Amino acid sequence: MAADPIDATQIACSPDDARRRIKENWIRVCDEVAQAATQTGRGATDVRVVGVSKYVDAEVTGWLVKAGCRDLGENRPQVLMQKADWFSANEPDVAGEIRWHQIGHLQRNKVRRLLAFKPLIHSVDSERVLDEIHNEAISQSISVDVLMEVNVSDEAAKTGLPVVELPGLFERHCSRVASADSGEFGARVIGLMAMAGWGTDPQQARPQFARLRDLRDQMRQQTNLALPELSMGMSGDYAAAIAEGATMVRIGSSLFSGVLK
Ligand SMILES: *Cc1c(COP(=O)(O)O)cnc(C)c1O
């Protein structure tokens, strides 16, 4: 599924054109996100755009950062870590401003090293991974923000926790946090994430986004967690996601349009 990220010699145009196109794309996407946000009565900057840079290598990712993007999403933890190291070495001035987002499946054996990069982890899709992040964060004396990824489509092929597992998982997690003396350290669940899946049209995606928001509201009622964040919406369906309350949209291909072959 994950093709290797392309580099500056493999793009569809000259590097100068690519930089210009990425900048135009970034401005256009931000405008459209701002417009969709204000239509729901929120502020123009209330919905955060996570630039999904998995399609391109670190250098081309740097062009997106130059365009103004400071939130970068990667689906493979290995690549996230390599790129973060690349920015520290090659773009030290902006490296500290970048917020990394782990948006793809995370294996437990990658958790320990990933935490050093202070990512927001969107894709916690099992209780085992949540426990691993929690334990590891406590042992490193840090707090890690995470989102639980939920399968809101009821299709077996889709990623994320089955909806029926959410109440039990939240209950056990909250009672663990309450009974342990770990202070502010550990995994902090700040919301939910879902994918409508590739090729789903926005009309079909919208009820799935509404379902994720309802689940968030239910988990809020059941626990005393604030759960402010809803990460939902990609290039093809982010307007629908924002209409249903998305606070973060994960956008890749729209930002690289005209640049990728
Ligand atoms: C690739 C990816 C995206 C971005 O998808 P686009 O359609 O390219 O905008 C968003 N979320 C996840 C989890 C992804 O893997």
Given ligand 1 and candidates 250, 253, 259, which is best to mutate, with the most ligand atoms within 8 Å of its CB? Answer: 250
Please check the confidence at residue 39 and state whether its pLDDT lies above 70: yes
**Residue 122 Cα to ligand 1 middle (Å):** 12
**Residue 143 Cα to ligand 1 middle (Å):** 26
Atom of ligand 1 nearest to the CA of 236: 7
pLDDT, position 2 = 57
Please check the confidence at residue 81 and state whether its pLDDT lies above 90: yes
- CA dist list (Å): 198 to 117, 132, 204, 237: 28, 29, 12, 10
Residue whose C-alpha is closest to residue 103's, from 161, 65, 149: 149
Q: Work out the angle between the directed axes of helices 127-139 and 166-179 (0-180°, nearest 10).
A: 20
Given ligand 1 and candidates 22, 28, 52, 76, which is best to mutate, with the most ligand atoms within 8 Å of its CB? Answer: 52
Fold of 15-251: TIM Barrel (3.20.20)
pTM above threshold 0.85 = yes
As a whole number of angstroms, the distance between CA 2 and CA 55 comes to 9
Please check the confidence at residue 117 and state whether its pLDDT lies above 80: yes
Residues having CB within 6 Å of any atom of ligand 1: 52, 54, 75, 103-104, 195, 234-236, 250-254
Residue 202: exposed, middle, or buried by beta-carbon count in 10 A (0-12, 13-18, 19+)?
middle
Task: HSE, CB side, 13 Å, CA atoms: give it for residue 131.
Answer: 7
Please check the confidence at residue 80 and state whether its pLDDT lies above 70: yes
Element (H, E) at 243: helix 238-243
pLDDT, position 1 = 45
Q: Which residues contact residue 131 at a Cβ distance below 8 angstroms, ignoring those fewer than 6 apart? A: none
Buried b (16+ CB within 10 A) or exposed e, 111-124: beebbebebbbbbb
Element (H, E) at 50: strand 48-52
For range 133-160, the mean pLDDT: 92
Q: Under a CB-based contact definition with an 8 Å cutoff, are residues 259 and 18 in contact?
A: yes
Convert the pLDDT of each residue in 176-227 to its tens digit: 888 877 678 999 999 999 998 666 788 889 999 999 999 999 999 999 899 9
As a whole number of angstroms, the distance between CA 100 and CA 102 comes to 7
Element (H, E) at 99: strand 99-102
As a whole number of angstroms, the distance between CA 54 and CA 61 comes to 9
Atom of ligand 1 nearest to the CA of 123: 13
Please check the confidence at residue 21 and state whether its pLDDT lies above 90: yes
Given ligand 1 and candidates 22, 72, 75, which is best to mutate, with the most ligand atoms within 8 Å of its CB? Answer: 75
